[in-house]
Amino acid sequence: MRWLQRLLGGGQVQLDAGRQQALLRDVQHRYGAHAQIRFPEQVEAVTGMLSGDDGLVVAARIVSQVADEAHADLLAQAHEVHRRTGRRLLVHRRNYRPLWVEAGPALRWPLFTLPCGFHPYAQVAAAVAVVGSQAARLDRVTDPNPLLTRVFEVLDLTTAGWEYGRVRVDTDAAALADRLISTAGQILAAMDDPPRLPPPVRELMRRNNTLDVHDPTTPRAVGGINPGARMRERLLA
Protein backbone atom coordinates (compact mmCIF):
# COMPACT_ATOMS: atom_id res chain seq x y z
CA MET A 1 0.00 0.00 0.00
CA ARG A 2 1.60 3.21 -1.16
CA TRP A 3 0.03 5.31 1.59
CA LEU A 4 1.49 3.05 4.30
CA GLN A 5 4.92 3.09 2.64
CA ARG A 6 4.84 6.89 2.66
CA LEU A 7 3.81 7.01 6.31
CA LEU A 8 6.61 4.62 7.28
CA GLY A 9 9.16 6.36 5.09
CA GLY A 10 9.74 9.03 7.71
CA GLY A 11 10.49 12.71 7.35
CA GLN A 12 8.00 13.45 4.59
CA VAL A 13 5.02 14.60 6.65
CA GLN A 14 4.96 16.32 10.03
CA LEU A 15 1.54 15.96 11.66
CA ASP A 16 0.40 17.60 14.89
CA ALA A 17 -2.35 15.66 16.67
CA GLY A 18 -2.98 18.53 19.07
CA ARG A 19 -3.49 21.01 16.24
CA GLN A 20 -5.79 18.56 14.49
CA GLN A 21 -7.96 18.20 17.59
CA ALA A 22 -8.11 21.97 18.05
CA LEU A 23 -9.08 22.44 14.39
CA LEU A 24 -11.77 19.79 14.66
CA ARG A 25 -13.29 21.40 17.76
CA ASP A 26 -13.15 24.86 16.19
CA VAL A 27 -14.84 23.73 13.00
CA GLN A 28 -17.42 21.76 14.97
CA HIS A 29 -18.45 24.56 17.32
CA ARG A 30 -18.14 27.70 15.21
CA TYR A 31 -20.02 26.52 12.15
CA GLY A 32 -23.16 24.60 11.23
CA ALA A 33 -26.90 25.24 11.34
CA HIS A 34 -26.54 27.60 14.33
CA ALA A 35 -24.04 29.93 12.64
CA GLN A 36 -25.35 33.31 11.55
CA ILE A 37 -23.78 33.24 8.08
CA ARG A 38 -24.91 31.58 4.88
CA PHE A 39 -23.68 28.10 4.05
CA PRO A 40 -21.50 29.19 1.08
CA GLU A 41 -19.61 31.58 3.37
CA GLN A 42 -19.26 28.85 5.99
CA VAL A 43 -17.81 26.51 3.38
CA GLU A 44 -15.32 29.16 2.33
CA ALA A 45 -14.30 29.87 5.93
CA VAL A 46 -13.91 26.21 6.92
CA THR A 47 -12.01 25.42 3.73
CA GLY A 48 -9.55 28.19 4.59
CA MET A 49 -9.08 26.80 8.10
CA LEU A 50 -8.30 23.27 6.90
CA SER A 51 -5.06 24.09 5.12
CA GLY A 52 -1.94 21.94 5.15
CA ASP A 53 -1.58 18.29 6.06
CA ASP A 54 -3.19 18.65 9.47
CA GLY A 55 -6.20 20.29 7.85
CA LEU A 56 -6.36 17.48 5.31
CA VAL A 57 -6.38 14.89 8.11
CA VAL A 58 -9.21 16.76 9.84
CA ALA A 59 -11.18 17.00 6.60
CA ALA A 60 -10.82 13.25 6.06
CA ARG A 61 -11.94 12.63 9.65
CA ILE A 62 -15.04 14.79 9.17
CA VAL A 63 -16.09 12.90 6.03
CA SER A 64 -15.48 9.52 7.67
CA GLN A 65 -17.23 10.44 10.92
CA VAL A 66 -20.29 11.73 9.07
CA ALA A 67 -20.54 8.54 6.99
CA ASP A 68 -20.11 6.34 10.08
CA GLU A 69 -22.70 8.24 12.11
CA ALA A 70 -25.18 8.24 9.22
CA HIS A 71 -24.84 4.47 8.95
CA ALA A 72 -25.39 4.04 12.69
CA ASP A 73 -28.43 6.32 12.50
CA LEU A 74 -29.98 4.29 9.68
CA LEU A 75 -29.33 1.05 11.55
CA ALA A 76 -31.13 2.52 14.57
CA GLN A 77 -34.03 3.66 12.39
CA ALA A 78 -34.31 0.21 10.79
CA HIS A 79 -34.32 -1.36 14.26
CA GLU A 80 -37.08 1.00 15.38
CA VAL A 81 -39.19 0.21 12.30
CA HIS A 82 -38.80 -3.49 13.07
CA ARG A 83 -39.73 -2.94 16.72
CA ARG A 84 -42.89 -1.05 15.83
CA THR A 85 -44.05 -2.97 12.78
CA GLY A 86 -42.17 -6.26 12.57
CA ARG A 87 -40.84 -5.17 9.19
CA ARG A 88 -37.19 -5.97 8.61
CA LEU A 89 -35.11 -3.47 6.63
CA LEU A 90 -31.66 -4.27 5.24
CA VAL A 91 -29.06 -1.52 5.64
CA HIS A 92 -26.08 -1.97 3.30
CA ARG A 93 -23.42 0.74 3.31
CA ARG A 94 -22.26 0.00 -0.22
CA ASN A 95 -25.73 0.73 -1.59
CA TYR A 96 -28.35 2.57 0.43
CA ARG A 97 -30.72 3.01 -2.50
CA PRO A 98 -32.67 -0.26 -2.03
CA LEU A 99 -33.33 0.74 1.59
CA TRP A 100 -34.69 4.14 0.55
CA VAL A 101 -36.71 2.70 -2.34
CA GLU A 102 -38.38 0.26 0.05
CA ALA A 103 -38.85 2.41 3.11
CA GLY A 104 -38.25 6.06 2.21
CA PRO A 105 -41.46 7.40 3.81
CA ALA A 106 -40.61 5.61 7.07
CA LEU A 107 -37.06 6.98 7.26
CA ARG A 108 -35.54 10.28 8.35
CA TRP A 109 -32.64 11.57 6.27
CA PRO A 110 -29.76 11.29 8.75
CA LEU A 111 -27.34 14.00 7.60
CA PHE A 112 -29.23 16.90 9.20
CA THR A 113 -29.26 15.39 12.72
CA LEU A 114 -25.96 13.62 13.36
CA PRO A 115 -24.49 13.52 16.88
CA CYS A 116 -21.30 15.24 15.70
CA GLY A 117 -23.32 18.29 14.63
CA PHE A 118 -21.51 18.64 11.30
CA HIS A 119 -23.92 20.09 8.76
CA PRO A 120 -23.88 18.63 5.25
CA TYR A 121 -23.98 22.05 3.60
CA ALA A 122 -21.32 23.63 5.85
CA GLN A 123 -18.55 21.56 7.47
CA VAL A 124 -19.14 18.47 5.33
CA ALA A 125 -19.16 20.36 2.05
CA ALA A 126 -15.97 22.16 3.08
CA ALA A 127 -14.24 18.96 4.20
CA VAL A 128 -15.14 17.27 0.92
CA ALA A 129 -13.72 20.22 -1.02
CA VAL A 130 -10.46 20.10 0.96
CA VAL A 131 -10.08 16.35 0.39
CA GLY A 132 -10.62 16.78 -3.34
CA SER A 133 -8.27 19.74 -3.72
CA GLN A 134 -5.48 17.77 -1.99
CA ALA A 135 -6.29 14.32 -3.36
CA ALA A 136 -2.72 13.90 -4.62
CA ARG A 137 -1.45 14.21 -1.02
CA LEU A 138 -3.97 11.89 0.61
CA ASP A 139 -1.69 8.86 0.58
CA ARG A 140 0.86 10.86 2.60
CA VAL A 141 -1.49 11.13 5.58
CA THR A 142 -4.10 8.36 5.32
CA ASP A 143 -5.34 5.38 3.35
CA PRO A 144 -7.38 6.89 0.48
CA ASN A 145 -9.38 3.72 -0.21
CA PRO A 146 -11.72 3.76 2.82
CA LEU A 147 -11.98 7.54 2.53
CA LEU A 148 -13.15 7.21 -1.08
CA THR A 149 -15.72 4.66 0.12
CA ARG A 150 -17.03 7.18 2.67
CA VAL A 151 -17.23 9.92 0.03
CA PHE A 152 -19.34 7.61 -2.13
CA GLU A 153 -21.54 6.75 0.87
CA VAL A 154 -22.31 10.42 1.54
CA LEU A 155 -22.98 10.93 -2.17
CA ASP A 156 -25.35 7.94 -2.15
CA LEU A 157 -27.20 9.34 0.87
CA THR A 158 -27.39 12.79 -0.73
CA THR A 159 -28.95 11.67 -4.01
CA ALA A 160 -31.21 9.07 -2.36
CA GLY A 161 -32.43 11.78 0.00
CA TRP A 162 -33.51 13.87 -2.97
CA GLU A 163 -35.43 11.01 -4.55
CA TYR A 164 -36.88 9.22 -1.54
CA GLY A 165 -36.12 11.18 1.63
CA ARG A 166 -38.05 14.42 0.99
CA VAL A 167 -34.82 16.44 0.95
CA ARG A 168 -35.21 19.64 -1.02
CA VAL A 169 -32.78 20.14 -3.88
CA ASP A 170 -31.62 23.70 -3.32
CA THR A 171 -28.39 25.38 -4.30
CA ASP A 172 -26.65 24.24 -1.11
CA ALA A 173 -27.69 20.61 -1.68
CA ALA A 174 -26.58 20.76 -5.31
CA ALA A 175 -23.24 22.28 -4.31
CA LEU A 176 -22.66 19.42 -1.85
CA ALA A 177 -23.43 16.79 -4.50
CA ASP A 178 -21.21 18.53 -7.03
CA ARG A 179 -18.30 18.62 -4.55
CA LEU A 180 -18.80 14.96 -3.66
CA ILE A 181 -18.74 13.93 -7.32
CA SER A 182 -15.71 16.09 -8.10
CA THR A 183 -13.81 14.88 -5.04
CA ALA A 184 -14.53 11.24 -5.81
CA GLY A 185 -13.15 11.83 -9.30
CA GLN A 186 -10.04 13.55 -7.96
CA ILE A 187 -9.32 10.72 -5.52
CA LEU A 188 -9.82 8.10 -8.24
CA ALA A 189 -7.47 10.01 -10.55
CA ALA A 190 -4.76 10.02 -7.87
CA MET A 191 -4.95 6.25 -7.28
CA ASP A 192 -2.62 3.72 -8.88
CA ASP A 193 -5.31 1.02 -8.79
CA PRO A 194 -8.74 2.66 -8.44
CA PRO A 195 -11.60 0.46 -7.27
CA ARG A 196 -14.77 -0.25 -9.22
CA LEU A 197 -17.50 2.35 -8.87
CA PRO A 198 -20.17 1.36 -6.32
CA PRO A 199 -23.66 0.21 -7.43
CA PRO A 200 -25.59 3.44 -6.68
CA VAL A 201 -23.15 5.47 -8.76
CA ARG A 202 -23.37 3.04 -11.67
CA GLU A 203 -27.16 3.13 -11.43
CA LEU A 204 -27.32 6.91 -11.54
CA MET A 205 -24.81 7.10 -14.41
CA ARG A 206 -27.25 5.10 -16.53
CA ARG A 207 -29.81 7.88 -16.13
CA ASN A 208 -30.10 11.30 -17.68
CA ASN A 209 -32.56 13.02 -15.33
CA THR A 210 -32.28 16.74 -14.61
CA LEU A 211 -33.65 17.95 -11.28
CA ASP A 212 -34.73 21.51 -10.55
CA VAL A 213 -32.45 23.34 -8.13
CA HIS A 214 -34.22 25.87 -5.92
CA ASP A 215 -33.24 29.01 -4.10
CA PRO A 216 -32.68 28.10 -0.41
CA THR A 217 -35.14 30.73 0.82
CA THR A 218 -37.89 30.64 -1.82
CA PRO A 219 -39.77 28.08 -3.92
CA ARG A 220 -38.19 29.54 -7.06
CA ALA A 221 -36.16 27.21 -9.29
CA VAL A 222 -32.84 28.82 -10.22
CA GLY A 223 -31.22 26.05 -12.22
CA GLY A 224 -30.90 22.31 -12.62
CA ILE A 225 -28.60 19.41 -11.84
CA ASN A 226 -28.19 16.14 -13.72
CA PRO A 227 -26.37 13.84 -11.26
CA GLY A 228 -25.89 11.01 -13.74
CA ALA A 229 -24.34 13.27 -16.37
CA ARG A 230 -21.99 14.88 -13.84
CA MET A 231 -20.91 11.48 -12.59
CA ARG A 232 -20.21 10.25 -16.11
CA GLU A 233 -18.19 13.38 -16.84
CA ARG A 234 -16.09 13.33 -13.67
CA LEU A 235 -15.83 9.67 -12.71
CA LEU A 236 -15.20 8.10 -16.11
CA ALA A 237 -12.40 10.43 -17.18
- Taking only the tens place, the pLDDT of each residue in 81-95 is 999 999 999 999 999
For residue range 1-47, list pLDDT tens digits in order.
555 555 555 546 789 999 999 999 999 999 999 999 999 999 999 99
Name 66's Cβ contacts closer than 8 Å, sequence gap at least 6.
Answer: 111, 114, 116, 118, 120, 124, 150, 154
For residue range 115-174, list pLDDT tens digits in order.
999 999 999 999 999 999 999 999 999 999 999 999 999 999 999 999 999 999 999 999
Name 20's Cβ contacts closer than 8 Å, sequence gap at least 6.
Answer: 54, 57, 58, 61
Q: Whole-model pTM? A: 0.94
d(CA 63, CA 134): 14
